[in-house]
């Protein structure tokens, strides 16, 4: 009995010592000057899912809704000293709320579309235009994006009349960041966005004769050197395009894999295909590491759709000889609900209050129709 008691005591003592040692190592990890930890956050393919509500079944649905994702956004920001937030497109159309606002109520002068009101409230740094943004026509889109307080970008859609980019193609965000020792630096973050050329088929009636779409990879190869020449320290691609490993052509709809091969692009935020990356579906894909979330050695994230997940890329970057270099990067996603649909987070009360009027208008309109 004595020997057994002594053995258990020794095991517990070793475990305690081991935990103390690991804790001490973590606490004593030296902070490095000129090394910055930067967190990049992504939402994508929201499809007007602002509220955790299924308009078709007229009941709450905790698997969707930016009001839920917003809680993850606030938590992720709280964990990081330096962070940036982006949306990857397809945010205006996709549910009855989007249809009601576009086809019934419209965008009145001085009014801000609730999607962009939500983006303003959450302080997004930039947002991309997705293919579904064209579904209601260019006039509606142009009226809606006037309400956005952050850059709204796309690089591969061109005006036929003016023969130049239809939207702002890229931005270089000047951000003050803090390194691991507390010293402040200015970081020039280049952000560029792309979408599939198939918009010319999908929305031919809305777009023909007004805009053209140029191939994603060709446009990237043209624009990235320009962004570098304008002072971009790192470049993030808001790629409203999915992940495919098929041979690339100028008509490739899903071009993320090939964007990661372009020198100068450091990070890719993917979308369009409603997939989750990193995830098991990509386990055996070429030059892909789902443990670190890398494709061709570069961090990539895709956060599903409808606000179901928040995409996160944690970068460690270092300044040396007046240049910034990414020395580490890892990507992952966080869900708002488990696989059974049980909520993992509360909704953001402030955001819900902000978008509730249009949500309630939509619910009331559906009730009037007797649906």
**Superfamily holding 30-369:** Metallo-dependent phosphatases (3.60.21.10)
pLDDT of residue 29: 62
pLDDT computed for residue 320 by the predictor: 86
- Measured between alpha carbons, how far is 350 from 225 in angstroms, rounded to an integer? 41
CB 326 within 8 A of CB 317: yes
**Other CB atoms within 10 A of residue 122 CB:** 22
| Residue 206 near residue 139 (C-beta atoms within 8 A) | no
Instruction: Please check whether residue 279 is in contact with residue 335, taking contact to mean a CB–CB distance below 8 angstroms.
Output: no
Q: Is 101 helix (H, G, I), strand (E, B) or coil?
A: helix
Judge whether 298 and 258 are in contact, CB under 8 Å: no
Query: What is the distance between the alpha carbons of residues 84 and 77, in angstroms, rounded to a whole number?
Result: 9
Per-residue confidence (pLDDT) for residue 24, from 0 to 100: 35
pLDDT score at 18: 36
Tens-level pLDDT at each residue, the chain (371 residues) = 444 444 433 433 433 333 333 333 334 567 888 999 999 999 999 999 999 999 999 999 999 999 999 999 999 999 999 999 999 999 999 999 999 999 998 887 778 999 999 999 999 999 999 999 999 999 999 999 999 999 999 999 999 999 999 999 999 999 999 999 999 999 999 999 999 999 999 999 999 999 999 999 999 999 999 999 999 999 999 999 999 999 999 999 999 999 999 999 999 999 999 999 999 999 999 999 999 999 999 999 999 999 999 999 999 999 988 899 999 999 999 999 999 999 999 999 999 999 999 999 999 999 998 76
Q: Domain locations in the chain? A: 30-369
């Amino acid at each position: 009995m004595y020997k057994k008691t002594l053995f258990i005591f020794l095991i517990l003592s070793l475990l305690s010592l081991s935990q103390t040692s690991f804790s001490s190592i973590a606490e004593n990890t030296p902070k490095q000057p000129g090394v910055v930890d930067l967190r990049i956050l992504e939402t994508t393919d929201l499809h007007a899912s602002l509220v955790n509500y299924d308009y078709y079944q007229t009941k709450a649905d905790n698997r969707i809704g930016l009001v839920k994702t917003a809680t993850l956004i606030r938590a992720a920001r709280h964990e990081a000293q330096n962070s940036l937030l982006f949306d990857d497109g397809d945010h205006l159309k996709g549910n009855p709320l989007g249809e009601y606002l576009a086809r019934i109520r419209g965008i009145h002068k001085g009014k801000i579309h609730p999607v962009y009101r939500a983006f303003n409230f959450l302080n997004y740094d930039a947002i991309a235009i997705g293919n579904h943004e064209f579904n209601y026509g260019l006039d509606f889109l142009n009226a809606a994006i006037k309400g956005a307080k952050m850059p709204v970008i796309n690089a591969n859609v061109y005006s036929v009349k003016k023969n130049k980019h239809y939207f702002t193609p890229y931005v270089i965000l000047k951000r003050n960041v803090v390194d691991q020792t507390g010293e402040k630096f200015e970081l020039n973050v280049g952000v560029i966005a792309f979408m599939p050329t198939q918009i010319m088929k999908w929305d031919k009636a809305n777009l023909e004769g007004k805009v053209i779409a140029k191939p994603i990879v060709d446009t990237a190869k043209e624009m990235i050197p320009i962004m570098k020449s304008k002072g971009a320290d790192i470049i993030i691609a808001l790629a409203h395009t999915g992940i495919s490993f098929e041979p690339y052509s100028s008509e490739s709809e899903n071009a993320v894999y090939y964007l990661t091969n372009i020198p100068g692009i450091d990070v890719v935020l993917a979308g369009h295909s409603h997939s989750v990356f990193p995830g098991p579906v990509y386990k055996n894909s070429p030059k892909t590491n789902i443990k670190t979330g890398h494709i061709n050695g570069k961090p990539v994230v895709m956060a599903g759709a409808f606000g179901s997940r928040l995409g996160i890329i944690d970068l460690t970057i270092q300044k040396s000889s007046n240049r910034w270099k990414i020395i580490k990067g890892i990507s992952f996603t966080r869900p708002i609900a488990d696989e059974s649909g049980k909520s993992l987070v509360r909704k953001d009360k402030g955001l819900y209050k902000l978008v509730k009027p249009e949500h309630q208008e939509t619910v009331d309109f559906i009730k009037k129709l007797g649906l």
